[in-house]
Structures are given as C-alpha cells and as structure tokens.
C-alpha cells in the first residue's frame, strides 16, 4: 500500500495524537451506528412492515411516508414512560441488567471487520501486506456473546417476580444449551480457514478456489452448509426468537424476564435484542458469506484487488446487504413457526444439534487433512 | 492530557503509560469487588461481584497481550462457570435482601490461610521481579504460537487434563442418573 495522506499525517507525532483522539471518537460513534442503525432498520423493515404483509394488514401507515417515522414515535413513547421499580426488587441489580445485555452486543460489534481497515477494535496481529492473519477475533466474539446471559439472569432475579424468575431461568437454560452448537458450528470454518482472525477468514474466502475456479472465491456456505445451518438455528435460539421463545412465552409468563421493565430500561432491552440479531447476522456473513468482499471476478472487472482502499467504502454497504438478507431469514422463521415446548427445545439442542456439529467438525478435519 | 499521552508514546516500548494507568484502575476494581464478594450478605450479589473480579482478570490478560487467554477467561469463567453458579443459586435459594446465615464459622481460619498465601505469592513475585513492575508495551501473542506450544511442548499435560475432564464428565453423568 502506498503511503497515503493519512500515513503522512500519522508520521507527525503531535498530530498523530490529535488524529488518534478523532479516530477514537469516530470509532465510538461508528460502533453506536453499527448497533443502533441496523436495529432500527430491521425493526421497521421486518418487525413492522414485513410481518404486516405476511399477515395481510398494512402495519404502521400514519407516522411519515409508509409509517417510516413510527420508530421515532415508539422511542419517544418509551422515553416518557415512568421508570417503575417493583416494590420488592433488588434495585441495583434490576437497574444494571439491561446494560449488561447491551454491553455484550457492543463488545460483539466491536470486533467485526467492515473492510480491510474499516473495523473498530481488530484483535488481529496480521498486517495488510501478507495474508497470514493471526488473532482471536471469532473466539473473542463467541466469548463476549455469552455475557448477555448474565444480564438476563440479573433481570429475572432482580425483578422479584415469579414470572421474571421463571423467564430468566428458562432463558439461561436455553442460552447455555445453544451456546455449544454456536461455538462448535464455527469450528468447521476455523479449521478450513486455518485462522481465528475474522479478517483472515474473509481473506481466505476471497483467495479460495472451487476446483481451480477462483471467480467467486470460496464462500464457506458452500462447504460448511451444515455449520451455517446449525449456526443460524443457534442464533435464532440465542436471540430467543419465536420457535425458541419459551423464555418470554407471553401466554404463560407475561413476557418472562421483561415483565417488570418499563420505559427506558425496556427500550434498552428491546434495542439489545434487535441489535444482537443484526450483529449476529454480520458475524454469520463474515464467517459464511465472504464478509465485506465482493466476488473476485467483479473485482477484476472493476480493476481493484482485495487490499484496495475502496473496500473501506463499499465494504460496509456489502456487509449491510448481507446482514439484511440474513436477518430477513431470522424474522421469516420467527413469524412462520410455532413455539417449541421446553423439553423439545432442550432435546433438539443436546441430541441433534451438538452431535451434528461434532460430526461436521470431524468430517471437516478429515477433508482438510486429505486435500 | 495530550502531553500525558505523548509522554506515553515517546517512551515507547520501555514504559507504556496508558497501560499502566489502566492496570491500576483495573486492579482497584478487582481488589474492591473481591473484598465485597466475601463481605456482602447476599449470595447473588456475591456472585455478581465475582463477575467483576473475573472480568478484571480478563482485562489484565489483554493488557499483557495474552488475548487468547483473555477470551478463554471470558468464555469459560464468565460464560460457563459463573452462569451455572448464578443459575444454581437462583434455582435453590434466590432470596432478595440480606441473608443472615451466610457467615461461616471458620472464616477466621480462611482469612489466615489467604493472608499466608498472599504473603508467599507477593514475596516470590517481589523477589523475582524486584522493583521492575511497570507494564511495557506488549506485542499481542500469536494464537499460532499458543497452539504450537500446547500441542508439542505441553502435549502430555494437555492429554492428561483431557482424560481428567472426560472422567469428570462421565462421573457427573453417573452421579446425575437416577436409575
């Protein structure tokens, strides 16, 4: 890469620090955008509009064109509601629970690459001249995604309500059960890419070949389709979306661990839920759909290579497209299937998904050594 | 503030000032929540203070450049062990408010043992490192090197631990089965 204007600026020490602060601020705002914009976008597109068309109704139509300002109305409504603490609640635990869940989402969003250099906190040690990436990206992402369970347990216990406690316990049991297939499904991708770094996984998909044909690279959905399938099911369960919405089963538990929450704290839980859906979709598109890259033959036509600065610009747009595609599937499934029973849900994780993902790891390992 | 950071950058690898400040902040959080963990009168609060202690340790690992160990700490201790602990506590005795029967009679012996342990560890660290206790700018450790050392140099302990864990797993299944 040739020394750009930015590099020359960076070589001046004092300015580097000024730029460092600006970059730091830009990254914080960027993470906020990555968490909140997809959450709002998918809520409006899918939760408000798509489900309405699936159920032969119009959905919100009054606020703005096609009801597109409805989200602002909902946020405003939640912000002016009273912040109610239940009389017997453990106030501190009750108050902090939503932020623990949201923190998990932010930590997850922080490691996702949106371009060769467009990321927030890359945990990679590779440089851009070589494709020998090393780091703990995907491992860190899976680790921090499990923190949200603690927030949900805090909410369930701190509310001092039987519905909340039951919902919290169900959620924790479900999240523990589906954490395993989530991690094991990714192992196949890691074996094939030979690295834990998310950036490295993207580059190995660009440089991959299908029987000598490198025109579209090798998106791992083609070889790891079992892993992709397990990953998306586990994500659906981790997010407690409908076939797996036992923790907030409204006909039995009011809304589970959310029962006692109102106003802003409810809004934080709501944002965390839908932002996690989007961030997990980002993660799935990095792991299985080639991340921020476009097919190599298109790169050839455009005359750019995979290290081009253009990817810092078009990468986020490519990622957003893939995210919308995957979240569409998540909500499509959500509004199509009926709810699992608790025992069916646990049996599905422990007796089907985990053995299947172990077989997938074994087969991937054998094929990796054979080829 | 800019001058402070500039100082940290100019001294480069010899003394990483932001990392040192971060270390002391994390250390205060870790020690404070460890003390609260053993003195609090609510068992769920105790578990949540343990969460703070374990997260602080993960943060110290990141400061030392051991990112793989930090992620493992989060995944295993926070994501698995602590969640199971809180889960178990909530299923059995999830009382809100103060528990009176949490104080164990042997706590003075425990205090003695932990003080002895603290003195021994502190003395050995002091003896080995002397006054050279400042954090330098650590390069992140490569995951490839971690994997190489686990699966070549330390393959025997690794296999021994694997067999031990498998035995514990089977033991747990045997204990939990009713028939």
Q: Which residues of B touch A21 (CB under 8 A)?
A: 2
Q: What is the pLDDT of residues A46-92, one digit of tens each?
A: 888 888 888 888 878 888 788 788 888 888 888 888 888 888 778 88
| Average pLDDT value for residue range B120-146 | 77
As given in the structure block, the two tokens for residue A219 are: 């998106």
CB contact under 8 A, A140 and B48: no
> Percent of chain A scored above 70 by pLDDT?
92
CB contact under 8 A, B96 and A89: yes
* pLDDT reading at B100 higher than 60: yes
Q: Which residue has the tokens 């944002």?
A: A271
Q: Which residues of B touch A160 (CB under 8 A)?
A: 96
As given in the structure block, the two tokens for residue A77 are: 């409504």
In this complex, is the C-beta atom of A154 within 8 Å of any C-beta atom belonging to chain B? yes
CB contact under 8 A, A14 and B6: yes
* pLDDT reading at B12 higher than 60: no
Residues 99-138 of A with CB under 8 A from B: 123, 125, 134-136
Which pLDDT value is given to residue B33? 92
CB contact under 8 A, B83 and A169: no
User: In angstroms, what separates the C-alpha of A224 from chain B's closest C-alpha?
Assistant: 23
User: In angstroms, what separates the C-alpha of B54 from chain A's closest C-alpha?
Assistant: 12
* pLDDT reading at B113 higher than 90: yes
CB-defined contacts A:B, below 8 A:
103
This prediction has a pTM of 0.84
As given in the structure block, the two tokens for residue B24 are: 């002391």
Q: Which residue has the tokens 């994997």?
A: B147
Which pLDDT value is given to residue B105? 75
Answer yes or no: are the C-beta atoms of A173 and A230 closer than 8 Å.
no
CB contact under 8 A, B74 and A18: no
Mutate to test the interface with B, among A14, A135, A143, A194 (most CBs of B within 10 A): A143
Confidence of residue B97 (pLDDT cuts 50, 70, 90): low
In this complex, is the C-beta atom of A169 within 8 Å of any C-beta atom belonging to chain B? yes
The domain over range B2-135 is classified in CATH as 2.40.50.1020: no
Q: What is the pLDDT of residues B42-55, one digit of tens each?
A: 888 888 899 899 99
| Average pLDDT value for residue range B143-154 | 84
Bridge partners of A124? A135
Q: What is the mean pLDDT of chain A?
A: 82
What residue of B is the nearest CA neighbor of A16? Answer: B6
Element (H, E) at A21: helix A13-42
CB contact under 8 A, B84 and A196: no
CA-angle at A220, arms to A217 and A223, nearest 5° = 105
Q: Which residues of B touch A165 (CB under 8 A)?
A: 90, 94
How does B43-75 read in b/e, with b if 16+ C-beta sit within 10 Å? bbbbbbbbbbbbbbbbbbbbbbbbbbbbbbbbb
CB contact under 8 A, B142 and A125: yes
CB contact under 8 A, B90 and A14: no
Q: What is the pLDDT of residues A33-57, one digit of tens each?
A: 888 888 888 888 888 888 888 888 8
What residue of B is the nearest CA neighbor of A139? Answer: B71
Bridge partners of A135? A124
Q: What is the pLDDT of residues A287-318, one digit of tens each?
A: 998 888 888 788 778 777 777 777 778 888 88
CB contact under 8 A, B74 and A169: no
* pLDDT reading at A164 higher than 80: yes
Residue A268 to residues A81, A160, A363: CA-CA distances in angstroms?
13, 20, 42
Distance CA B174, CA B179 (A): 9
Answer yes or no: are the C-beta atoms of A289 and A315 closer than 8 Å.
no
Confidence of residue A355 (pLDDT cuts 50, 70, 90): very high
Q: Is the ipTM of this complex over 0.90?
A: no
In this complex, is the C-beta atom of A90 within 8 Å of any C-beta atom belonging to chain B? yes
As given in the structure block, the two tokens for residue A74 are: 């909902």
Answer yes or no: are the C-beta atoms of A316 and A142 closer than 8 Å.
no
């Amino acid at each position: 890469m040739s020394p750009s204007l930015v590099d020359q600026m960076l070589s001046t020490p004092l300015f580097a620090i000024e730029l460092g602060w600006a970059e730091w601020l830009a990254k914080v705002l960027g993470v906020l955008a990555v968490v909140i914009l997809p959450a709002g976008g998918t809520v409006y597109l899918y939760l408000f509009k798509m489900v309405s068309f699936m159920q032969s109704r119009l959905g919100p139509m009054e606020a703005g064109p096609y009801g597109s300002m409805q989200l602002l109305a909902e946020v405003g409504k939640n912000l002016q509601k009273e912040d109610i603490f239940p009389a017997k609640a453990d106030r501190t635990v009750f108050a902090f629970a939503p932020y623990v869940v949201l923190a998990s989402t932010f930590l997850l969003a922080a490691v996702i690459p949106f371009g060769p250099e467009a990321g927030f906190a890359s945990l990679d040690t590779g440089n851009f001249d070589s494709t020998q990436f090393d780091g703990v990206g995907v491992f860190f992402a899976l680790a921090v995604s499990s923190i949200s369970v603690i927030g949900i347990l805090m909410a369930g216990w701190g509310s001092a309500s039987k519905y909340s406690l039951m919902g919290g316990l169900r959620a924790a049991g479900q999240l523990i059960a589906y954490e395993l297939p989530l991690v094991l499904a990714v192992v196949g991708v890691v074996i094939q890419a030979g690295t834990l770094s998310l950036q490295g996984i993207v580059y190995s998909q660009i440089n991959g070949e299908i029987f000598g044909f490198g025109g579209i690279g090798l998106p791992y959905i083609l070889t790891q389709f079992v892993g992709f399938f397990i990953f998306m099911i586990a994500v659906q369960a981790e997010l407690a979306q409908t076939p797996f919405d036992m923790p907030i089963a409204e006909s039995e538990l009011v809304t589970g661990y959310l029962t006692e929450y109102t106003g802003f704290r409810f809004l934080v839980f709501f944002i965390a839920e839908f932002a996690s859906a989007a961030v997990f979709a980002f993660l799935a598109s990095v792991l299985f759909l080639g991340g921020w890259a476009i097919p190599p033959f298109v790169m050839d036509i455009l005359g750019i290579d995979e290290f081009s600065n253009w990817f810092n610009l078009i990468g986020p747009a490519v990622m957003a497209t893939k995210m919308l595609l995957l979240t569409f599937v998540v909500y499509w499934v959500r509004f199509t299937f009926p709810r699992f029973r608790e025992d069916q849900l646990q049996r599905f994780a422990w007796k089907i998904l985990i053995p299947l993902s172990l077989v997938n790891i074994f087969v991937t390992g054998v094929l990796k050594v054979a080829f | 503030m800019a001058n402070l950071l500039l100082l940290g950058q100019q001294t480069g690898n010899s003394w990483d000032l932001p990392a040192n400040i971060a270390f002391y902040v994390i250390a205060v959080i870790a020690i404070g929540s460890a003390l609260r963990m053993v003195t609090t009168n609510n068992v769920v609060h105790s578990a949540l203070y343990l969460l703070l202690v374990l997260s602080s340790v993960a943060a110290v690992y990141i400061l030392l450049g051991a990112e793989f160990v930090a992620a493992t700490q989060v995944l295993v201790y926070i994501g698995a062990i602590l969640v199971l602990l809180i889960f178990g506590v909530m299923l059995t005795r999830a009382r809100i408010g103060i528990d009176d029967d949490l104080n164990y009679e042997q706590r003075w012996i425990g205090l003695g043992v932990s003080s002895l342990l603290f003195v021994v560890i502190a003395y050995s660290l002091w003896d080995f490192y002397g006054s050279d206790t400042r954090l330098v700018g650590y390069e992140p450790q490569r995951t490839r090197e971690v994997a190489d050392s686990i699966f070549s140099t330390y393959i025997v302990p690794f296999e021994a631990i694997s067999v031990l864990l498998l035995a514990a797993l089977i033991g747990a299944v045997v204990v939990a089965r009713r028939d």
